[in-house]
Amino acid sequence: MQYTTLGKTGIQISRIGFGGIPIQRIDAAGTRQLFLQMREAGINYVDTARGYTVSESYIGAAIEGMREHFVLATKSMSRTKEAMAKDIDISLANLGTDYIDLYQVHNPTMEQLEQVIAAGGALEALLEARTAGKIGHIGLTAHSLEVFAKALTLDWVETIMFPYNIVETQGTELIHKCAERGIGFIAMKPLAGGALDDATLALRFIASNPDVTVVIPGMADAKEIEQNIAAACDGAPLTEAENAKIEEIRATLGTQFCRRCNYCAPCTAGINIPGVFLMDGYLTRYGLADWAKARYAAMEKTASDCVGCGVCETRCPYNLPIRDMLKAAAERFGK
């Protein structure tokens, strides 16, 4: 395992961390098993969020008796002082600890970031919690370049998390600025929300950028832990063949693809928007047409149920033309 310093926080962390979103799909016992394996493998950085339903509490149960082996990072969508203070206490209780190493402002818009910083905003609660010893450091997560750039100018921001992967390199320059300014950079969405199927190549690409402090893929079993460590800590430069594959992936996926973040929900017509795009990806990219068609046919609402209200597009952080994309999917699937 390679270890590195998480920017100006000074915390020593493994170059590969644990992304806490997928454990919503496994159970508490499975999570415990996973954490025992991670401890054995030397992975110590753990990322979760108040918004990931049971993730914090599963992790809390999983680290019982071995809290000191992990660096815990969580985040909250609260924007006011009162709500953030409450969330910090809930996170502490869920995680079964009296100290969280890193607490992050979760994906604010520019307007929400203003609110966080203003009098009565969430930052006041974070600073008070840090003084009280409930949290160690403060970070921010973003999906927009504008928010990322603004975060670089805020002296209380010690870490920044932003999507970074083979097909989402728009943050490269700002990531370099993080390194120059001693701000820890946490790469999220290493597999572009499931759009990339070669996890080894995806992680090798990210790890080959020295400006990235830590990458946080989801992991569900010992085999994935081993594979991810091998990929992220290999240290060998990308080969010509790998670079060619990366270019091929970029040419195939382009930029208009769904990252399955589900921020567009709820759909007025009850469509599972990322679900439709996932099946569309299986149909068009992965050669699983029959399987995708059968799964799509079983969906309660399909792309053709879209009433064109456009609400989802105002919520998509990637500005995807969801209505047009649904129309194209409906044509391909025939409904």
**Taking CB under 6 A as the rule, does residue 189 contact ligand SF4?**
no
Q: Tell which residue, 277, 279, 265, 194, has the closest CA to residue 51.
A: 265
Structure-token match 């493994």, residue found: 14
Could you give the CA distance from residue 280 to residue 333 in angstroms, rounded to a whole number?
A: 8
Half-sphere exposure of 2 (CA within 13 A, CB side): 18
Could you give the CA distance from residue 24 to residue 131 in angstroms, rounded to a whole number?
A: 32
**Taking CB under 6 A as the rule, does residue 307 contact ligand SF4?**
yes
Q: Tell which residue, 5, 134, 11, has the closest CA to residue 71.
A: 11
Q: Please say which residue, 92 or 271, places its beta carbon nearer to ligand SF4.
A: 271
Q: Are strands 71-76 and 45-47 parallel, antiparallel or unpaired?
A: parallel
**Taking CB under 6 A as the rule, does residue 273 contact ligand SF4?**
yes
**Taking CB under 6 A as the rule, does residue 268 contact ligand SF4?**
yes
Q: Which of residues 233-262 bind ligand SF4 (CB under 6 A)?
A: 258-262
**Taking CB under 6 A as the rule, does residue 21 contact ligand SF4?**
no
Shortest Cβ distance from residue 234 to ligand SF4 (Å)?
30
Q: Please say which residue, 6 or 21, places its beta carbon nearer to ligand SF4.
A: 21
Q: Which of 30, 263, 285, 295 binds ligand SF4 (CB under 6 A)?
A: 263
Structure-token match 């680290």, residue found: 63
**Taking CB under 6 A as the rule, does residue 269 contact ligand SF4?**
yes
**Taking CB under 6 A as the rule, does residue 267 contact ligand SF4?**
yes
Structure-token match 């990339």, residue found: 196
**Taking CB under 6 A as the rule, does residue 201 contact ligand SF4?**
no
Please choose, out of 33-41, 96-104, 126-134, 317-325, the segment that lies near ligand SF4 by the rule CB under 6 A.
317-325
